Chain A
């Protein structure tokens, strides 16, 4: 049996990144993710890595762009307002097909918002975050163990598909402590990166990392190629956990901390004889559409539980192809729905209301 250590979610991400072979971290202080930077500042110098506190979020993401161009695993982390600043870099990384891991430990918005947990960057994350046609792989952990596991997976998917992965966590996931089994993490060898700018060695033509294509035909071609890649990812990489869904007549959709609250409410509802289950998307992009499509065959309604004004609900409705009504159970601005609030929504749905 592997040894378990008690860690904060933020620390689990940092340690898992190091286990995944990341030796370069760039960040800028922002609550509630600062433990990641603090962990990296302590660890990186001791293992020959780089920790650098950048002058801004913008500089940090561009330092990421530089290390990724050099073909190495690299990450940055931030929270909502800081991720907005990284938006430019996210778009450039996508345009240059560069892999990297971005962590967003979300807090309430918009604007400076607050420092309490939120899921209101769902649209920003799943729709790319910057300008232009592109996606990021978006992973939504619901435990400290998953913070670690999805960090490793994020690096691997990023390298496989030459794109950015984002861990979309929230303040609760970042701050809470749980036992983690880090010994269980398995890391696959990094694929070769013949495109990286490491110096020609006078042995090959020069490599160019670039997102500028002034000929529209050429730029269009790259966009179509990227979307063919995205289509493959949607087919093969979508992940969701299903809980008590076999006989469910009501499906609760929730990710991250909202999924944990929802599980408690579902257990209570089951005791009351209500046939309700949970679909917890683990990948928010690609969204696990097939699971929702299948559920729409046998449930009467769905409830989307979110720490936002209702963002994932749009994907739930699209995935269910509007065949069943989908209602929203939410809190916003840094508030978390209570199990009682979710239970009330389930009871109401069971009575046919939504």
Chain B
């Protein structure tokens, strides 16, 4: 089974329960393979939870869900040590973050303290409780969601913390036809319960290693860097994409190339992924906000301007 076939199997499996969201599941798998995390910004009820569950089931991974509320404490996320009177010592009870695939629902509802406990765990792939550092089992993939509609009683994530996420995605509503299909499928059975595991966790870890070997030509690196530097020189942008952003884009491109069955990254990968990677890593000038220009639009404008490398030319 080639790498592409393995990934294809997972995606087809997810397609069985989620209808018409192939692009989102593809991007989620991309983030999973690249070792990144995804922030989904969307209204409730479009199938976010379903998709993550389907993904977890497809790879036979441990699935955890954290529903964030204002009174949630860091220990509720990370875990807590409890005194065991029988053993006469403290015993660690791991929190929900200790899973392979974690759905962090409505992350903007909880206090910054609890948010940063999660974000730190995402960044380090480990948690420190009572001075003891514990590795989070690999693969580790967080899909956080935030609801853009309600602002009352929310703590929006600061921009600096947003770049812990590889992608920021919007799921969007299904088309009418797709929605009808959703209804008809739900009529018969609850699809998610019948989903089977198609690849093993070890297969996934192997794939993560293969992703790192996908070739990124110097011309492509130059193209990525040029796109990133253009965000820094753009008059509408207050804060451009950091070098960490360029690095994230490159890793994402490698994973995406593998999904597409290639052993090398093309400029098309860069063009496809850069809005998702760069979009949440830039801060706009107030003027841009007044004019209703979004970061995605700016990235798209930059993409039309920067010269695609089509031959071997030395990068300055």
A-B complex is real:
no
Name B's A-contacting residues (CB within 8 A). Answer: none
